[in-house]
């Protein structure tokens, strides 16, 4: 039996709760091992997400945290948005380091909503006239991405090992596409059908 895929989902205070919970739920339905990894300076595993929804992460990876873990053994990195959280993640050297690490190993980097800005701040954009990475995001940050990426309006975009999506309302499609990339379309269809996801 194949070893379960391992997914690291990073989040912080102000992350979009729908994007965190739907992504984690769908990936766990696919029998993937999903860890919620908080990145904030108070060292707590408690995460105060959008709309007064509190979640508990599995680990806190702020420097010096007693329960920090290495992300070396993971197959994919998932990045949510959120009105406040996306700014924290986009400016986090820890989060940027994760994106660079996964991208350099050609592992899946998946960002939804304004979480896509972290891909830019991690240096994956190209404004030198070379082939630009296809990407999408929440419309509110489009202007920040257009100069460095081949910006798309599609609900989910995959280009090489980078997968992006638009917002809370596209998170189910986003999560199922992660399942498809990591586990095949058959698995994505299998878990999508009982959830009454349109095919």
pLDDT of residue 127: 58
pLDDT for the residue numbered 109: 98
Query: What is the model's pLDDT at position 80?
Result: 98
> Which DSSP symbol is given to 129?
S
Residue 117: count of CB within 10 angstroms of its CB: 23
Q: What is the pLDDT of residue 1?
A: 47
Please report the pLDDT score of residue 129 as a whole number.
60
- Phi, psi angles (nearest 5°) of residue 70: -80, 145
pLDDT tens string for the chain (199 positions)? 468 999 999 999 999 999 999 999 999 999 999 999 999 878 889 999 999 999 999 999 876 667 778 999 999 999 999 999 999 999 999 999 999 999 999 999 999 999 999 999 999 987 556 679 999 999 999 999 999 999 999 999 999 999 999 999 999 999 999 999 999 999 999 999 999 998 7
The catalytic residues are 113, 138
Quote the pLDDT of residue 42: 81
pTM equals 0.96
Judge contact between 182 and 189, C-beta under 8 A: no
pLDDT given for residue 140 in this prediction? 97
Residue in this structure with the two tokens 């878990």, named with its chain if needed: 191
Phi/psi of residue 115, each to 5°?
A: -60, -20
Q: Where are the alpha helices (DSSP H) in 12-165?
A: 17-29, 85-90, 93-104, 117-121, 142-145
Distance of alpha carbon 181 from alpha carbon 107, whole angstroms: 11
Assigned architecture for domain 6-194: 3-Layer(aba) Sandwich (3.40)
Q: Distance (Å, rounded) from C-alpha 50 to C-alpha 149? A: 28
């Amino acid at each position: 039996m194949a070893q379960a895929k391992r997914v690291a989902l990073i989040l912080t205070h102000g992350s979009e709760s729908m994007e965190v919970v739907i992504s984690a739920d769908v990936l766990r339905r696919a029998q993937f091992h999903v860890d919620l990894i908080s990145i904030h300076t108070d060292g707590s595993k408690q995460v105060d997400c959008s709309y007064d929804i509190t979640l508990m992460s599995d680990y806190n990876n702020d420097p010096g945290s007693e329960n920090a873990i290495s992300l070396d053994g993971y197959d994919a990195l998932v990045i949510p948005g959120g009105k406040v959280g996306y700014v924290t993640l986009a400016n986090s050297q820890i989060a940027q380091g994760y994106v660079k690490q996964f991208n350099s190993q050609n592992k899946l980097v998946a960002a939804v909503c304004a979480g896509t800005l972290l891909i830019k701040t991690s240096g994956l954009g190209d404004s030198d006239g070379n082939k630009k990475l296809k990407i999408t995001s929440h419309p509110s940050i489009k202007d920040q991405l257009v100069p460095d990426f081949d910006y798309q309006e599609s609900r989910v975009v995959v280009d090489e090992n980078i997968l992006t999506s638009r917002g809370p309302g596209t998170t189910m499609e986003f999560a199922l596409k992660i399942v498809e990339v990591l586990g095949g379309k058959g698995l994505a269809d299998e878990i999508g059908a009982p959830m009454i996801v349109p095919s």
